[in-house]
Amino acid sequence: MNTATSNPSPEHPAPFEWDGVIPARPEDPAHLPIFKLLYRASRRNQALDCFLTSFLKYRHYLPAVAAETIIPDFATSQVTIRDLPRGLWATPLVDTLSVVKAAIGFKSKKILEIGSYKGSTARLLAENTPEDTRIWTLDMDPNHGEAYRGTPHESRIERIIGKVENPLLDPHGPFDLIFVDADHDYESVFHHSAVAFRQLAPGGVILWHDYQQNNYLHGGCAVPEALYMAARTFRKDILSIEGTMLGVYSEVPGWESATAAGRADGADHSNPWTDGKIRRI
């Protein structure tokens, strides 16, 4: 199943390779069909979905780390917010802020957003990074990016329209930071992850959205399964950032996810006075 070439050295990493085969997703436990039956019997009640999904602890596939152990200056970097993310598919604010803080902390100069929607995240990235930082946004919708159109930052953001494929991105890459937030079915997330690894510059960072265990039964989000299998197939240390719905992979010297994995969170968050985990909004 391993089809990625391992890096012979940090100074001379081997090019990422993938044979195009998407592995089978992890099997569901035996009791899951009962949950699905109850969910359908409830006429797909969202609250019941969230309640039953909370029992699927096995879906916490990735080691969880505190944001400050994987993103430089996370607790001290300043982010300016002029407007909140808008729209049904917009990335929630805590996750958007974490992505922007990653761009600031890693001093990313070439950023790719896979799945851009209205462009709220791209706009915040442009508003909080230096003038020489360039941002590319990829989306199937030809109208994507309304959040930054007509703003002073539009000139720093290049819109790409089309499917998530390497030939479309090769003329622009490689990228220092890639944020993946497009389709959320298993095959798409795995494929998009392979493209992201192919487009990643040496010493770069990938962030994924919707690594979450909130509403599995509706069938629309298999990001945890896809990232788990991508980590195994490509032999990459993909982590989750506690308190967010973000997955992360880093090759940045001193901030490698392979190193941070050894500091995976094992703290007791039950005491509100000592708990320091990010709280979701």
Both 42 and 158 in one domain: the answer is no
Both 99 and 54 in one domain: the answer is no
Cβ atoms 144, 159 nearer than 8 A: yes
190 within domain boundaries: yes
Instruction: Convert the pLDDT of each residue in 39-66 to its tens digit.
Output: 899 999 989 988 988 888 888 899 999 9
Both 52 and 169 in one domain: the answer is no
Q: What is the structure's pLDDT at 7?
A: 45
Residue 14 pLDDT class (50, 70, 90 cuts): low
Gyration radius (Cα) of the chain, Å: 19
18 within domain boundaries: no
Give the tokens for residue 273. Answer: 């006075």
Choose between 93 and 88: higher pLDDT.
Answer: 93
Provide the terminal-to-terminal Cα distance of the chain, rounded to the nearest Å. Answer: 38
Both 240 and 141 in one domain: the answer is yes
**What is the arithmetic mean of pLDDT over 182-189?**
91
Does 10 have pLDDT greater than 70?
no
Question: Is residue 119 classed exposed, middle or buried when 0-12, 13-18 and 19+ CB atoms within 10 A define those classes?
Answer: buried
Cα(58)–Cα(216) distance, integer angstroms: 12
Does 232 have pLDDT greater than 90?
yes
Domain range holding 246? 61-263
Among 17, 42, 59, the domain boundary falls at 59
Both 36 and 148 in one domain: the answer is no
Both 136 and 52 in one domain: the answer is no
The percent of residues in the chain predicted with pLDDT above 70, rounded, is 86
Does 224 have pLDDT greater than 60?
yes
21 within domain boundaries: no
Cα(43)–Cα(40) distance, integer angstroms: 5
Both 43 and 124 in one domain: the answer is no
Question: What is the 8-class DSSP label of residue 189?
Answer: H
Both 48 and 126 in one domain: the answer is no
84 within domain boundaries: yes
273 within domain boundaries: no
Instruction: Convert the pLDDT of each residue in 99-146 to its tens digit.
Output: 999 999 999 999 999 998 888 899 999 999 999 999 999 998 888 888
**What is the arithmetic mean of pLDDT over 191-195?**
96
Both 46 and 101 in one domain: the answer is no
| DSSP secondary structure letters along 219-265 | S---HHHHHHHHHHHHT---EEETTTTEEEEE-STT--HHHHGGG--
Both 38 and 143 in one domain: the answer is no
Supply the CATH number for residue 70's domain: 3.40.50.150
Number of domains in the chain: 2
Both 45 and 184 in one domain: the answer is no
Residue with token string 């090759």: 251
Q: What is the structure's pLDDT at 274?
A: 57
Both 50 and 74 in one domain: the answer is no
Cα(223)–Cα(213) distance, integer angstroms: 9
